[in-house]
């Protein structure tokens, strides 16, 4: 996530400058492969268009016309071209930034270049490169689109955070379906719970889904969070809740 640095203590990192490149120990550019066409070698067979499931190639006057914005770098077109008319070119779509915190924690984030929309390759690269035997917390984007799936598909355990509203329940159902499709184990946390709209709880119970935590609706929590504070530090009564949540998630992940 591009804002995970906000969840460290002020004494641990220089929060005010933590979104700038200078804050990080290392930065690497992240390229993806995109096809480069040599029309002189192309025989107009159209196989590259047919194999592209993302409609990134069309044929005009028996020659391929490429739409880079739609390309997902699956490399299928490279493989079907028997004429050698397609070669792989690198396209920089973002960067990966890494910072060691207190000599023990690795903070890694991925930033997309302006106008680049497809983050899954960057997310997958970060997870593959930086997940290890230690506990790795991946902050996934909301919803059930490709970036969320890319972040969750290789996880040992996923925490689905929802809210007690009709909108929250609708999104939760989609996310649960996605996790079941991916065969990834998961539990639910209900955030901002004020006792209203019990349907989320009822639905989870009817689906035999574990509710592993309930975060109460509290103005102070919102105030601390929006001020860049650590909730568990500034509101000690929440510490046990977050500790239990962490311990439960870790114990589920190693099962």
Answer yes or no whether residue 249 interacts with ligand SF4 by CB under 6 A: no
Answer yes or no whether residue 54 interacts with ligand SF4 by CB under 6 A: yes
User: Segment contacting ligand SF4 (CB under 6 A): 50-58, 92-100, 136-144, 188-196?
Assistant: 50-58
Residue (26 or 39) nearer to ligand SF4, CB: 39
- 31, 46, 141, 229: which one binds ligand SF4 (CB under 6 A): 46
Answer yes or no whether residue 155 interacts with ligand SF4 by CB under 6 A: no
- 5, 8, 13, 64: which one binds ligand SF4 (CB under 6 A): 64
- 5, 8, 13, 52: which one binds ligand SF4 (CB under 6 A): 52
Other CB atoms within 10 A of residue 255 CB:
7
User: Segment contacting ligand SF4 (CB under 6 A): 23-31, 37-45, 99-107, 164-172?
Assistant: 37-45
- Shortest distance, position 149 Cβ to ligand SF4, whole Å: 17
Question: Which 68-107 residues touch ligand SF4, going by CB under 6 A?
Answer: 71-77, 80-81, 83, 85-86
Question: Which 163-192 residues touch ligand SF4, going by CB under 6 A?
Answer: none
Residue (84 or 227) nearer to ligand SF4, CB: 84
If we measure between CA atoms, which residue out of 72, 12, 1 comes closest to residue 233? 12
- Shortest distance, position 178 Cβ to ligand SF4, whole Å: 22
Q: Which residues bind ligand SF4 (CB under 6 A)?
A: 35, 37, 42-48, 51-52, 54, 56-57, 64, 71-77, 80-81, 83, 85-86
């Amino acid at each position: 996530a591009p804002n995970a640095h906000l969840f460290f203590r002020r004494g641990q990192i220089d929060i005010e400058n933590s979104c700038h490149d200078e804050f990080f120990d290392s930065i690497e550019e992240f390229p993806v492969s995109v096809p480069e066409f040599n029309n002189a070698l192309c025989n107009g067979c159209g196989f590259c268009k047919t194999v592209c499931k993302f409609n990134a190639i069309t044929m005009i006057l028996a020659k391929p016309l490429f739409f880079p914005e739609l390309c997902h770098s699956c490399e299928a077109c490279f493989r079907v071209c028997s004429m050698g008319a397609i070669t792989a070119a690198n396209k920089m779509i973002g960067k990966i930034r890494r910072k060691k915190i207190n000599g023990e924690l690795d903070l890694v984030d991925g930033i997309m270049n302006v106008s680049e929309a497809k983050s899954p390759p960057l997310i997958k690269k970060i997870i593959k490169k930086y997940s290890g035997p230690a506990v790795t917390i991946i902050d996934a984007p909301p919803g059930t689109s490709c970036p969320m799936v890319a972040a969750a598909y290789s996880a040992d355990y996923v925490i689905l955070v929802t809210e007690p509203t009709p909108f929250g329940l609708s999104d939760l159902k989609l996310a649960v379906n996605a996790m079941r499709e991916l065969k990834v184990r998961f539990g639910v946390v209900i955030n901002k719970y004020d006792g209203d709209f019990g349907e989320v709880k009822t639905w989870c119970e009817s689906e035999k889904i574990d509710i592993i935590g309930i975060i109460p609706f509290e103005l102070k929590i919102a105030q601390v969070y929006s001020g860049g504070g650590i909730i568990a530090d500034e509101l000690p009564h929440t510490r046990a809740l977050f500790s239990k949540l962490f311990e439960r998630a870790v114990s589920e992940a190693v099962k």
